[in-house]
């Protein structure tokens, strides 16, 4: 459960556990049993085919969201969710400029690599030119930068930035891939600790 073993049987204490996807440990019996039982009921599903579980899950997610955040769209990964959020912001605003933070990690797709600001997670190829944003599409931020070193935003930071972004007609995107689903302990969503409601929330894992 808390240990990993290499091909020679050498035991390691897992103090990292991946990017919050296996933070419950390895091969825990109750989790393996839940996976087995789920596979007996429904092994694979997709949003191409309607199934009540999709709608049930969407309703459950929407019930956890504040304000008017009640529309759910399922995709394959956090990278894809952030890619979709950028596209939605571009379609809504008609603008191209995106703002992200230093140390940010928003995914490995071509568009999200442009938002990512960690050289250990980027390919050494240009992801667009640096320029001053005039017509703003949106602003994206994690409430705690996970890959960037578990850095927490200053209190009130998102409220200040969201106000500026909205005055420039941009959309505010909260990347909750690593901070959502109660992982902070105090709130279900990371952005709630900042007292803001984003226009788009992305999540995964």
- Predicted confidence at residue 185, as pLDDT, reads 82
- Predicted confidence at residue 130, as pLDDT, reads 46
In the chain the first and final C-alpha atoms are separated, in Å, by: 19
CB atoms within 10 A of CB 188: 15
Phi (first) and psi of residue 39, to 5 degrees? -65, -30
Q: What percent of the chain has pLDDT over 70?
A: 89
Question: What single-letter DSSP state applies at residue 139?
Answer: E
- Predicted confidence at residue 97, as pLDDT, reads 87
- Alpha-carbon distance 69 to 197, whole Å? 8
pLDDT tens for residues 10-68?
998 877 655 555 567 778 899 889 989 988 887 776 777 778 888 899 999 999 999 99
- Predicted confidence at residue 70, as pLDDT, reads 94
- Alpha-carbon distance 51 to 181, whole Å? 23
- Alpha-carbon distance 153 to 159, whole Å? 11
Can you give the pTM of this predicted structure? 0.73
pLDDT at position 120 over 80: no
Confidence of residue 125 (pLDDT cuts 50, 70, 90): low
């Amino acid at each position: 459960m808390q240990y990993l073993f290499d091909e020679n049987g050498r035991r390691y204490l897992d103090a990292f556990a991946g990017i919050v996807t296996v933070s419950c440990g390895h091969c825990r019996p109750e989790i393996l049993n839940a996976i087995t039982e789920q596979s007996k009921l429904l092994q694979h599903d997709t949003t191409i085919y309607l199934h009540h579980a999709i709608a049930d899950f969407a309703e459950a997610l929407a019930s956890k969201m504040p304000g008017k955040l009640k529309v759910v769209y399922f995709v394959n990964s956090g990278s894809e969710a952030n890619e979709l959020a950028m596209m939605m912001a571009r379609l809504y605003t008609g603008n191209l400029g995106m703002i992200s933070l230093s140390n940010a990690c928003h995914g490995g797709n071509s568009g999200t690599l442009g938002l990512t600001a960690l050289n250990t997670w980027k390919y050494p190829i240009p992801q667009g030119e640096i320029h001053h944003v005039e017509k703003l599409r949106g602003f994206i931020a994690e409430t705690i930068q996970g890959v960037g070193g578990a850095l927490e935003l200053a209190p009130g930071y998102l409220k200040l930035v969201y106000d500026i972004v909205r005055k420039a007609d941009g959309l505010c995107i909260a990347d909750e891939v690593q901070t959502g689903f109660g992982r902070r302990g105090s709130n279900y969503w990371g952005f709630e600790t900042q007292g803001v409601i984003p226009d788009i929330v992305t999540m995964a894992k």
